């Protein structure tokens, strides 16, 4: 069995991190929240590494990082997993028949679940999201950094959408990333969520996930919010409403010309119609109406229209009659004023009684 404590036994003399690899890793950090998952592992395992630990800029830095890992008071399989990760970085510079990392893993008898887990994190650190999700959702893997992983997947899915909008205007680096990840990574956050069931603890990850879901289905997002803890629901429902009505989100989708799966755009009209038709409870109805009439949502395009459409759809016609509204543009000779007058005539005396809080 290989002696992992001996630096020379693990790392060949002529193999080191070159400038291109170091620059790639540093650039990838921008898409990973400022640090790689390898660095997160070092912190989780309380490895007291040297300054500028990763990526190691010189062979001496690599040796110091190796020493910090093998001297740490942690289980041997954790040490082997970290060294396996570093060797995967160097596989591209090695010209042997078998990859350095594979040879090492076999010689130290690294358990398959650790092998798979490290391959997943390494792929994610190198923005190969498809491979990462395939490895990190393996049944043998205990989810680690699930929310952080989800944030990266959501970020890459959004970047993929922007890349498709840019088309031929994309940079060479963006082109390489799209080629490496395949045509579409937008399904990966949902795939990871369904398989790994991340808790989504932080407010940022919950908001970003609702925004992601809302771009796919307003109705499914609504039922997902309902399944969340009660104290979270109002804020997340407001996020759903904002994402549905926000003109900036609409403009981006319409400019893209395609939905997240390459199908026709999930239009603002479709989203708004779904929102108006959702089966809110009385409490949810109050939350949404309050958000659109008194809260931050009152400045959203179509906020007042949405409130009136909800009232009509749910049969609260007396409120439509009792409260004034802007005329709005005419559609086939009908605007809100015409519609309100028609409802008022249809209700007759009953509308007046209900408007005063009385019933016939």
Query: DSSP of 279-304, one letter per residue?
Result: ---HHHHHHHHHHHHTSGGGGSTTHH
Same domain, 122 and 144: no
Compute the C-alpha angle 178/180/185, nearest 5°: 55
Interatomic CA distance for residues 142 and 196, integer angstroms: 9
Give the per-residue pLDDT at 260. 47
In a domain, 248, yes or no: yes
In a domain, 351, yes or no: no
Q: Which of 126, 156, 180 is the last residue of a domain?
A: 126
Same domain, 104 and 20: yes
Same domain, 69 and 143: no
Same domain, 20 and 50: yes
Same domain, 152 and 118: no
In a domain, 324, yes or no: no
Alpha-carbon torsion (317, 319, 321, 327), positive or negative:
negative
Question: 98 vs 14, 221, 280, CA distance in Å?
Answer: 16, 47, 59
Same domain, 208 and 190: no
Same domain, 195 and 303: no
Give the per-residue pLDDT at 166. 46
Q: 302 lies in which domain range?
A: 200-314
Same domain, 234 and 183: no
Q: How many helices, marked H, and strands, marked E, lie in the chain? A: 21, 0
Give the per-residue pLDDT at 191. 95
Same domain, 144 and 118: no
Residues of the chain with pLDDT under 50: 165-172, 175, 179, 181-182, 250, 254-263, 327-328, 330-334, 338-339, 353, 356, 358-360
In a domain, 334, yes or no: no
Give the per-residue pLDDT at 262. 44
Give the per-residue pLDDT at 321. 55
In a domain, 46, yes or no: yes
Give the per-residue pLDDT at 271. 87
The domain total for the chain is 3
Tokens of 129: 């999201």
Same domain, 11 and 121: yes
Same domain, 67 and 172: no
In a domain, 328, yes or no: no
Q: Which of 126, 154, 178 is the last residue of a domain?
A: 126
Task: Tell me if residue 87 falls in helix, strand or coil.
Answer: helix
Give the per-residue pLDDT at 53. 87
Same domain, 115 and 28: yes
* Predicted structure pTM score: 0.81
Give the per-residue pLDDT at 330. 47
In a domain, 320, yes or no: no
In a domain, 359, yes or no: no
Task: Tell me if residue 185 falls in helix, strand or coil.
Answer: coil
């Amino acid at each position: 069995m290989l002696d992992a404590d001996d630096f020379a036994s693990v790392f060949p003399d002529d193999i080191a991190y070159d400038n291109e690899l170091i620059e790639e890793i540093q650039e990838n950090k921008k898409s990973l929240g400022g640090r790689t998952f390898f660095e997160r592992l070092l912190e989780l395992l309380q490895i007291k590494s040297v300054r500028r630990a990763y990526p190691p800029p010189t062979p001496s830095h690599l040796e110091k990082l190796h020493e910090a890992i093998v001297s740490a008071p942690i289980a041997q399989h954790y040490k082997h997993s970290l060294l396996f990760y570093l060797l995967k970085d160097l596989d591209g510079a090695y010209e042997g028949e078998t990859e350095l990392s594979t040879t090492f893993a076999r010689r130290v008898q690294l358990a398959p679940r650790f092998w798979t887990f490290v391959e997943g994190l390494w792929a994610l650190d190198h923005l190969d999201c498809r491979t990462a999700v395939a490895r990190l959702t393996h049944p043998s893997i205990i989810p680690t950094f699930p929310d952080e992983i989800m944030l990266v997947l959501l970020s890459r899915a959004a970047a993929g959408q922007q890349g498709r909008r840019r088309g031929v205007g994309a940079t060479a680096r963006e082109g390489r990333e799209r080629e490496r990840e395949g045509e579409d990574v937008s399904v990966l956050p949902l795939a990871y969520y369904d398989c790994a069931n991340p808790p989504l603890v932080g407010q940022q990850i919950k908001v970003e996930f609702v925004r992601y879901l809302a771009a796919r289905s307003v109705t499914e997002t609504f039922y997902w919010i309902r399944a969340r803890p009660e104290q979270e629901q109002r804020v997340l429902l407001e996020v759903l409403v904002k994402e549905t009505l926000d003109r900036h989100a609409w403009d981006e989708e319409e400019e893209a010309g395609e939905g997240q799966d390459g199908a026709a755009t999930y239009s603002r009209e479709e989203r708004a119609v779904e929102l108006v038709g959702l089966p809110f409870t009385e409490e949810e109805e109050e939350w949404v109406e309050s958000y659109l009439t008194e809260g931050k949502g009152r400045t959203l395009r179509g906020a007042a229209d949405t409130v009136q459409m909800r009232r009509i759809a749910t049969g609260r016609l007396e409120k439509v009659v009792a409260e004034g509204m802007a005329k709005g543009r005419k559609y086939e000779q009908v605007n809100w004023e015409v519609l309100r007058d028609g409802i008022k005539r249809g209700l007759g005396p009953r509308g007046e009684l209900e408007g005063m809080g009385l019933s016939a």
